[in-house]
Structure 1
């Protein structure tokens, strides 16, 4: 029962990231604006369309794979990616200062990291 709940939560993390990745792929200007990004011309749009889906789609796919198969191993990839992103946000707070918009994405990333850590401990290490 608990294992299935953990798998469902990990799958939600995966689906959330896939949705964000697809948003960046399909409408980089719209989703970029929601993430406080403004592309510089066509190449800026191409960069947002390439780099952000790479991050979110890859992390989401590995989370979904881990949830689907009940495996802990694939969760390492989105875990490291999100931990790196959260570390960058902490560095930004220290270097650039605090803004009220800084904390909501940090809370979401921290929540996903917690879910993935629980998944790593509750799911099968390998098959």
Structure 2
């Protein structure tokens, strides 16, 4: 029983740190979309490009963060299956990972930025799914 509680707390803490990082990135991108240009390899071409990058990437990171927090934090409101919210950010990052995978045959594998982004996305998906699974276990 103690090991299970420790694992749940450890995973909850890891997801909360993950979510805070991406929430900060999302909010920073709303304020200054150049953050995405510097960190994610996208360019800001004109007002339309900047607003698209600001809106789309910030939405991605903020929504993923909010749902990760909703799924990881231990609310005591009597609702069951709250951990299912973790599937939202896991799905977002899995689709992003798949999208990057499409770029690999066209020479994307040689770009270290793509490789690092894919590693970060894969680790995120694994963290979120493992946490979802562990939090979903009930006592028998």
TM-score, normalising length: structure 2: 0.82
1:49 to partner: Cα distance: 1.1
Find the structure with the greater CA-based Rg: 2
Residues matched between the structures, number: 125
Query: Higher RCO, 1 or 2 (CA under 8 Å, sep at least 6)?
Result: 1
Is 1:73 the counterpart of 2:70 in the alignment?
Answer: no
Cα deviation per residue 1:85-113 (whole Å; 9 max; x = unaligned)?
00001101123442222211111111111
Q: 1:83 maps to what in 2?
A: 94
Query: Counterparts of 1:30 and 1:12 in 2: how far apart (Å)?
Result: 20
Cα deviation per residue 1:10-64 (whole Å; 9 max; x = unaligned)?
1122112111111211110233232111111111111111101110000010001
Q: 1:55 maps to what in 2?
A: 60
User: What do you get for the CA RMSD once the two structures are aligned?
Assistant: 1.6
Query: Counterparts of 2:47 and 2:114 in 1: how far apart (Å)?
Result: 27
Query: Counterparts of 1:91 and 1:31 in 2: how far apart (Å)?
Result: 21
Unaligned runs of 5+ in 2: 1-5, 76-81
